[in-house]
Structure formats: structure tokens, C-alpha cells
Amino acid sequence: MDKIIMEKYAEAVVKMGVNVQEGQYVHIHANVRQQEFVTKLVEECYKAKARYVITDLSGVETELKEHIPSVLICPTDIYAIKLMDLAKKHKAGIVG
């Protein structure tokens, strides 16, 4: 995909599709083949003033069906929010 088109598409997904708001936590799950696009999505989420953006990249072999989207972006659940706040408070990282 052309870089300019990719940037515009990422902006549209974040602003109009998902409508990321200031202070929101965002979770992006994508296939590793979409890493470049995911990077653009993350950039756009932070431009929209998201508080945290979590990304999960999976390998080709873990995709179950062809009809599953290669990129899934959504506001994340309250458990993940509390976990991230706790990690930040204690200057810890989250693994796995």
C-alpha cells in the first residue's frame, strides 16, 4: 500500500471508524504482516490523544480463518486499564 494512502486510511480508521477520544485506552490486534499499518494506527491514536495504545501482533500460523480481519482495533476493557495503571504506578512493564 502506498505510504500516503496508508497514512490517510489510518487517520480515517482512528478518527471516523473507531472515533478514538482523548484519554481512551486502545487495543490493536493485528497479523504481523500488518506491522507497518499498525505503526501508523498507533501514531494516529496518539495524535487523537489516546492515553495508552496496546498492540498485539500474531503470526500467520495463528490466524484461524480467512474472514477474520487482519487488523482489529477497539477500546480496551477495564481490566487492561487497571493493569496498565498499576504497571505505570510501579514503573513496571507488562509481558505476554
- Residue 73 is predicted with a pLDDT of 58
Give whole-number Cα distances, 12 to 21, 23, 40, 90, in Å. Answer: 14, 19, 11, 35
- Residue 77 is predicted with a pLDDT of 61
- Residue 48 is predicted with a pLDDT of 94
The Cα 32–Cα 71 span in angstroms is: 10
Alpha helices in 1-96 (DSSP H): 3-12, 35-47, 78-89
Mean pLDDT, 10 residues at a time, the chain of 96 residues: 90 90 85 89 93 79 51 60 68 50
With 0.75 as the threshold, say if the pTM is over it.
no
DSSP β-bridge partners for residue 30: 57, 71
Query: Rounded to the nearest 10 degrees, what angle do helices 35-47 and 3-12 cross at?
Result: 50
Give whole-number Cα distances, 82 to 7, 78, 86, in Å. Answer: 31, 6, 6
- Residue 42 is predicted with a pLDDT of 93
